[in-house]
A and B are shown apart, each in its own frame.
Chain A
């Protein structure tokens, strides 16, 4: 079984897994990191969205071998200890979540949007593809704007 080493939430990890195993299942089934959720397995719903070298990606469609030597950040690694990331704080302030299942992915997407576009317009936010079946979109929009204002 091939072995793969990468940095997960700041810690180096080595895991044995077939080269083509999507990172999502390596995280969930081998490493017990369950923040990234399975919602479709084909990169459509984006519930698993995490960061690879600081940019958003969908671990359900990226093989573990392609993560070797790189920085993987999941929702579990976003906060600095007990200090939440400003986007997480905005999510709390706007009480965004309903069922919560998509929210790790929504937050990781929003963090990357704000990294690329510190003051996103409504049109920028409209480009977010993540599904929220509870329909929390208006609060997601509000939280992104609030986080942008906080970090500006």
Chain B
């Protein structure tokens, strides 16, 4: 499917621009006024500025911390009443231009202005404000780089030049479709985006569709789903597009009825006149497409005017899911696509030495056997026949590059990779600790599956792609085709946790389809997924904290990890955002580390260093990436320091957390979770805190280790501040999922490597938590909205993991150092 409103062949385009007004100029190096980078040459633009006077409207109640009182559902908003963005303590982060694309129905695109190189500045301003209220009487911690500009900011910057290509269309049948250049894998993004559209349009949520866009190379770096960055990067552009569409719909109705546009209201997917006349958006769509200059403000609503954003809302695809109608790649009925599985080496990255496929080829239903770089593919009429024929292949394999290594060897290499500590423990008291984290498989429920139809001169693929543009480029190069001859259809994914940043199955499917000359549906088995990765890299952490007179003086964290594979377009995106890695002398991994890792506490002078060991095993970002180990080790260390200094773990953290917002989250978890309440023998509470992606969270868990072999988290209380939750219900799901991740990877789920091969083969031995390991009681508290949405998909993992580890330590009186504990 092609994205509507693409510029090709468009002979007329009218643009409307406006600046989101603010009462103070946005700081930063951007050009003055609404920046308007050149759209593609096919477009002619006519910028028309629509000044909107700033008002003195007070900060909306919700943002000021008072209970949020959204308008009643369906309450019409008056187009004339939209106020400019109120004076906010946070400088506006982005401004928008919107473009009306020539299309038979109303199609609007939004872009963020270049003046928003401001994330760094904005964040710095927030940081300064936070600093002023942070006054623990000790050496002030140095701000980490992520306090000033984090990975999400960098990715937003990389995506800015193309964010005007976000497309919203309102069709004659009354539906609004936001073509989403991201992947849905369960994180609830399609629902959150539908809510943003419905809110700004004053449309019924049920009238909004959020199809996933095909790979669109015109988006450059703006089609990467990751880094908990989707809502952060889409919140403003989606609202701008929808507000612009609504303004044009109102204007079209005003013209039709010869009424002043500002006398009209919108509600429930229709424009309403004072005399009771009503025109649905569908019937206005064509006329609205002719509106060059809206007669009412096209500014997005202020938070106080939003009626859907912030309201707990069920997933828009929930009914499809519970009735079995939701389609994943393996469920697609692509004509002629035959089942295909791949025989793989006996060790990681091994290679084929010999093959006798004669018996397999003779088996019923078998349609072909194809050698590909990663193994031997078998095509058959059904997956059962393909699997049985795969078993009948007679193969021998050359050992892979790590065939001599097992888990213990890799641990030893990691331990040897550290840079030395800077502070020798000569004059002060100190605490040293070392931590090991095992490899962890992503293990999404839906195994990697891709449909490929490669024909002479073109190729078409269907799969759950977090990086469809990079996939398209790579597959085109593999097939010797021009990039635009390869179409990547993005299909919803059955979980990801970072796994679908890579398109391993799609590349294989393209290779097989080309060789076999027919469309294929290639599926990794669960065993393939476990045995051939990818994995969160194993890591080792060495931490030294010095202290005197009850204060932490220095805090050094040396992380050594097996190298993380980031070859999915991240480096290109960071470069596009202005990070010249080679000049900075950084590896991509170090850049990622520096942009994401920071210690949130004033612990004297903190230093954090990453050492990577290259190892030819399949790795990849795993939900929360470095923070999933680095920050967990930090949080365990905070408990141990508190113990050493004779302080309560919560009080110890509280005295050192930077900023009131951080302390508010910790306080909420401690209060709601009744921190310190008496616990029976063998049971204990544990606390963990983390902030990242512009959000912050604390987990308090209670763990029963009366039987230390069967520890059970019995209760969890979570407090989170994500700036502004678009869908609190979806956010709670993410925080709950992160809790189960934490329970799993800390207590029982990990991957062993034995002589270059993964030991685990399924969920039977990769022991991701089941219902019996899940806490019967989970309570989540979301703090009132304060600003723009932060990221949340990965936020919870480090704090949840740490809370579980700390509770286990307190319940058992041990100091766990190696995770998972039961491994």
Residues of A that sit less than 8 Å from B by CB: 17-18, 21-22, 25-26, 28-30, 32, 34-42, 44-45, 47, 74-76, 78-79, 84, 88, 91-92, 95, 97-104, 107, 122, 125-141
Interface presence of B770 (CB below 8 A) = yes
Interface presence of B419 (CB below 8 A) = no
Interface presence of B18 (CB below 8 A) = no
- The stretch of B9-17, B104-112, B200-208, B315-323 that contacts the partner chain: B315-323
Interface presence of B446 (CB below 8 A) = yes
Knowing A21-B384, A29-B382, A38-B447 are in contact, say whether A92-B324 is a contact too (CB < 8 A): no
For chain A, what secondary structure do more than half of its interface residues adopt (helix, strand, loop), or is it mixed?
A: loop
List of A residues within 8 angstroms of B736 by Cβ: 135-136, 138-139
Interface presence of B444 (CB below 8 A) = yes
List of B residues within 8 angstroms of A18 by Cβ: 364, 384-385
Cα A95 to Cα B333 in complex, Å, equals: 28
Closest A residue to B495 by CB, please name it: A99
- A25-B382 in contact (CB<8A): yes
List of B residues within 8 angstroms of A125 by Cβ: 771
Please name 19 further chain A to chain B contacts, defined as beta carbons within 8 Å, in addition to the given A44-B763, A95-B314, A99-B494, sorted by A numbering: A17-B382, A18-B364, A18-B384, A21-B382, A25-B382, A29-B381, A32-B333, A37-B445, A38-B383, A40-B763, A47-B445, A95-B729, A95-B733, A97-B315, A99-B186, A101-B494, A104-B321, A138-B736, A138-B778
Interface presence of B174 (CB below 8 A) = no
Cα A99 to Cα B445 in complex, Å, equals: 9
Cα A25 to Cα B330 in complex, Å, equals: 12
List of A residues within 8 angstroms of B187 by Cβ: 98
Between-chain CB contacts (< 8 Å), 15 pairs = A34-B331, A38-B383, A45-B762, A92-B318, A97-B322, A98-B733, A101-B328, A101-B444, A103-B321, A104-B324, A107-B322, A125-B771, A133-B497, A136-B733, A138-B774
- A38-B770 in contact (CB<8A): no
Closest A residue to B464 by CB, please name it: A99
Q: How far is the CB of B617 from chain A (nearest CB, A)?
A: 21
- A98-B188 in contact (CB<8A): yes
Interface presence of B339 (CB below 8 A) = yes
Q: How far is the CB of B243 from chain A (nearest CB, A)?
A: 27
- A92-B314 in contact (CB<8A): yes
Q: How far is the CB of B547 from chain A (nearest CB, A)?
A: 37
- B445-A141 in contact (CB<8A): no
Contact code string B489-500 (vs A, CB < 8 Å = 1, else 0): 000111111000
Cα A130 to Cα B330 in complex, Å, equals: 20
Interface presence of B407 (CB below 8 A) = no
Cα A129 to Cα B729 in complex, Å, equals: 25
Contact of B323 among A26, A32, A84, A130 (CB under 8 A): A84
- A135-B445 in contact (CB<8A): no
- B322-A88 in contact (CB<8A): yes
Interface presence of B372 (CB below 8 A) = no
- B776-A122 in contact (CB<8A): yes
Knowing A100-B326, A131-B445 are in contact, say whether A42-B739 is a contact too (CB < 8 A): no
Cα A35 to Cα B776 in complex, Å, equals: 28
Interface presence of B764 (CB below 8 A) = yes
Closest A residue to B445 by CB, please name it: A101
- A133-B444 in contact (CB<8A): yes
Contact of B494 among A35, A100, A139 (CB under 8 A): A100
Q: How far is the CB of A80 from chain B (nearest CB, A)?
A: 12
- A75-B740 in contact (CB<8A): no
- A101-B446 in contact (CB<8A): yes
Cα A99 to Cα B446 in complex, Å, equals: 9
Contact of B321 among A30, A32, A41, A100 (CB under 8 A): A100
List of A residues within 8 angstroms of B775 by Cβ: 138
Interface presence of B443 (CB below 8 A) = yes
Knowing A28-B383, A137-B771, A138-B774 are in contact, say whether A34-B323 is a contact too (CB < 8 A): no
Which 3 pairs of residues, A with B, have the shortest CB-CB distance? A35-B324, A135-B740, A99-B186
Closest A residue to B796 by CB, please name it: A135
> Which residues of chain B (477-511) have a CB below 8 Å from chain A?
492-497
Contact code string B674-699 (vs A, CB < 8 Å = 1, else 0): 00000000000000000000000000
- B364-A79 in contact (CB<8A): no
- B774-A100 in contact (CB<8A): no
Knowing A99-B495, A103-B321, A133-B443 are in contact, say whether A22-B327 is a contact too (CB < 8 A): no
List of B residues within 8 angstroms of A17 by Cβ: 382
- B445-A139 in contact (CB<8A): no
Interface presence of B525 (CB below 8 A) = yes
Q: How far is the CB of A137 from chain B (nearest CB, A)?
A: 4
Q: How far is the CB of B261 from chain A (nearest CB, A)?
A: 38
List of B residues within 8 angstroms of A28 by Cβ: 330-331, 383
Interface presence of B35 (CB below 8 A) = no
Cα A108 to Cα B494 in complex, Å, equals: 18
List of B residues within 8 angstroms of A104 by Cβ: 321-322, 324
- A135-B523 in contact (CB<8A): no
List of A residues within 8 angstroms of B317 by Cβ: 97, 100
Interface presence of B99 (CB below 8 A) = no
Interface presence of B738 (CB below 8 A) = yes
Q: How far is the CB of A97 from chain B (nearest CB, A)?
A: 4
- A91-B322 in contact (CB<8A): yes
> Which residues of chain B (720-773) have a CB below 8 Å from chain A?
729, 733, 736-741, 762-764, 768-772
- B318-A74 in contact (CB<8A): no
Q: How far is the CB of B735 from chain A (nearest CB, A)?
A: 10
> Which residues of chain B (543-581) have a CB below 8 Å from chain A?
none
List of A residues within 8 angstroms of B494 by Cβ: 37, 99-102
- A129-B770 in contact (CB<8A): yes
- B323-A79 in contact (CB<8A): yes
Cα A116 to Cα B387 in complex, Å, equals: 35
Cα A128 to Cα B385 in complex, Å, equals: 31
- A140-B323 in contact (CB<8A): no
Interface presence of B781 (CB below 8 A) = no
Interface presence of B633 (CB below 8 A) = no
Closest B residue to A97 by CB, please name it: B321
- B324-A74 in contact (CB<8A): yes
Cα A21 to Cα B762 in complex, Å, equals: 21
Cα A95 to Cα B186 in complex, Å, equals: 12
